[in-house]
Amino acid sequence: MKQAFLKVEGLKKIFPGVAGSDGVIVFDDIHFEVQHGEFICIIGHSGCGKSTILNVLAGLDSASGGNVFMDGREISGASLDRGVIFQSHALMPWLTVRQNVAFAVKSRWPEWNKMQVEAQCVKYLELVGLGHALDKKPHQLSGGMKQRVGIARAFSIEPKMLLMDEPFGALDALTRGIIQDELVKICAATQQTVFMITHDVDEAILLADKIILMSNGPHAKIAEIVENPLARPRLRTEMHHNDHFYSVRNHMVDFLVSRSRKISQGELPPNYDPRHPPIIRPLSFATE
């Protein structure tokens, strides 16, 4: 059997209580796997621990229990093997677009000469459509352009895994759509493995191969993992014409509106086992 590229086993997070009170168990007994080249989205209401899970995968936070293995090694801290993109672009304002990306490239390959660094920067900035803005400062860019620089910077270090925490949440709908389309193209070209947090159901269907649905916190669990029935490449302008689009969308919306709360209250599916969360294949209920 093929070994998973990323394996999460029994992950648990407890936030300390205030003034001696009991701690809060945000999530417990989280198990899932990610294969190389897969794009995974995780969805759930605020407070279920999505960002905490991502931070543990990034090595920016520690779990209270459980283990995470990537490419056969346990994650025990931050590493350039994992690139992270947050909602804020986090660019250094005193550096140009080119220099912001070069800072990451030099950190990844300190032995590279100037020409190698330059070529890597230009390659990924052109991939996100910013070849014309290499020498601009962040204050000269729109919000969408700044986020593109952040994406280029993350891809430029060629991480084994890309972690994205609602990277398009602050953008207007038009800009968000344009960058989503570019992300689809880049991931297809690079076979990048991605773990992304989103609150947008349509965004998850457009981008993800699998969608992890979290129950409400505290004591959040993975309720189910939905396999996306829409074949790649998925196009925003055509996606809603697919026979299976609304079946998977309605299933996920129903989960967020009602089932996530019920599960958090103990109404788990029959024979539920957190070590093997239910795999939902929407093709099986598309005709219901």
Which DSSP string corresponds to 185-246?
HHHHHHT-EEEEE-S-HHHHHHH-SEEEEEPPSSSB-EEEEEEP-SPSSP-HHHHTTSTTHH
Residue 130 lies in a domain: no
- In the block, tokens 């899970």 appear at 53
Q: Write the DSSP assignment of 127-138 as a string of letters.
A: HTT-GGGTT--G
Give the span between the Cα atoms of 51 and 47, in whole angstroms.
Answer: 9
pTM of this structure: 0.91
Residue 69, both tokens:
């293995």
Residue 142 lies in a domain: no
The domain of 240 spans: 6-77+193-284
Residue 2 has pLDDT above 90, yes or no: no
pLDDT in tens, 155-201: 999 999 999 999 887 788 888 888 888 888 888 888 899 999 999 99
- In the block, tokens 């209270």 appear at 64
C-alpha distances in angstroms, 17 versus 12, 26, 93? 16, 12, 38
Q: Where are the beta strands (DSSP E) in 44-110?
A: 65-70, 73-74, 82-85
pLDDT band, very low/low/confident/very high, at 261 (cuts 50, 70, 90): confident
- What would the mean pLDDT of 242-262 be, rounded to a whole number? 89
Give the span between the Cα atoms of 221 and 49, in whole angstroms.
Answer: 9
- What would the mean pLDDT of 117-144 be, rounded to a whole number? 93
CA atoms within 13 A on the CB side of 284: 5
pLDDT in tens, 55-78: 999 999 999 999 999 999 999 888
What is the pLDDT, as a whole number, of residue 73?
92
Residue 58 lies in a domain: yes
Angle between helices 173-190 and 114-127 in degrees, nearest 10: 130
Residue 195 three-state SS: strand
pLDDT band, very low/low/confident/very high, at 237 (cuts 50, 70, 90): confident
Among residues 225, 167, 184, 190, the alpha carbon closest in space to that of 36 is found at: 190
pLDDT band, very low/low/confident/very high, at 49 (cuts 50, 70, 90): very high
What is the pLDDT, as a whole number, of residue 1?
58
What is the pLDDT, as a whole number, of residue 269?
78
pLDDT band, very low/low/confident/very high, at 287 (cuts 50, 70, 90): very low
- Number of domain units in the chain: 1
Residue 148 lies in a domain: no
Residue 13 lies in a domain: yes
Residue 70 lies in a domain: yes
Residue 179 lies in a domain: no
Give the span between the Cα atoms of 215 and 47, in whole angstroms.
Answer: 10
Residue 286 has pLDDT above 50, yes or no: no
Task: Considering only CA atoms, give the Rg of the chain.
Answer: 20
Q: How many residues does the chain have?
A: 288
Residue 92 lies in a domain: no
- The CATH code of the domain that includes 260 is 3.40.50.300
pLDDT in tens, 7-25: 999 999 999 877 777 889 9
- What would the mean pLDDT of 269-283 be, rounded to a whole number? 84
